[in-house]
Amino acid sequence: MSTADHHLSHYDPSGVPSGAGRRFALVVSEWNMEVSDALRKAARETLLMHGVAEADLIERWVPGSFELAAGAQFLLERGGLHGVICLGSIVRGETPHFDYVCHGTTQGIMSVGLKFSVPVIFGVLTDDTLQQAKDRSGGKHGNKGVDCAVAVLKMAELRDRG
């Protein structure tokens, strides 16, 4: 496994654009709540640390990862957002359901971002076990929520400044 011995959430804060004056949304899956909420907290903390005001940060919950794209779209239809982070966790089970949910979630999130020409960040863990998900949501491999917050700030800057 490529992440076996790596902490994935280390980054250089000086290379991250400020989020001051920008509005962002976190759309979070209720499924696998322990993991999803850990991702949310890390993304939120990182955005605030990089200048996003509390008042400019929207958080909404959806039932599962499959609904993340629709949640992002509902928020983007209202306008005024510089980016959306979709956060969730899909853990492989004993049936092909995992594959269908992963594929639909991935395609949906990508499609919404392209449709609205706004960064919509894929922050969905797709792991074989719950332990792997925990390792990537605040455990030994860092927290993907941090990475997603950094990505949305960089992509918002790229979109606005080119």
Domain ranges of the chain: 23-161
CA distance 144 to 133: 10
**What proportions of the chain, in percent to the nearest 5, are helix, strand and coil?**
50, 20, 30
Higher-confidence residue of 95 and 33: namely 33
pTM: 0.94
Q: What is the CATH number of domain 23-161?
A: 3.40.50.960
User: Is residue 50 among the annotated active site residues?
Assistant: no
Q: Is the pLDDT of residue 26 over 80?
A: yes
Q: What is the pLDDT of residues 109-151, one digit of tens each?
A: 999 999 999 999 999 999 999 999 999 999 999 999 999 999 9
Active-site entry in 6, 7, 10, 97: 97
pLDDT band at residue 7 under the 50/70/90 scheme: low
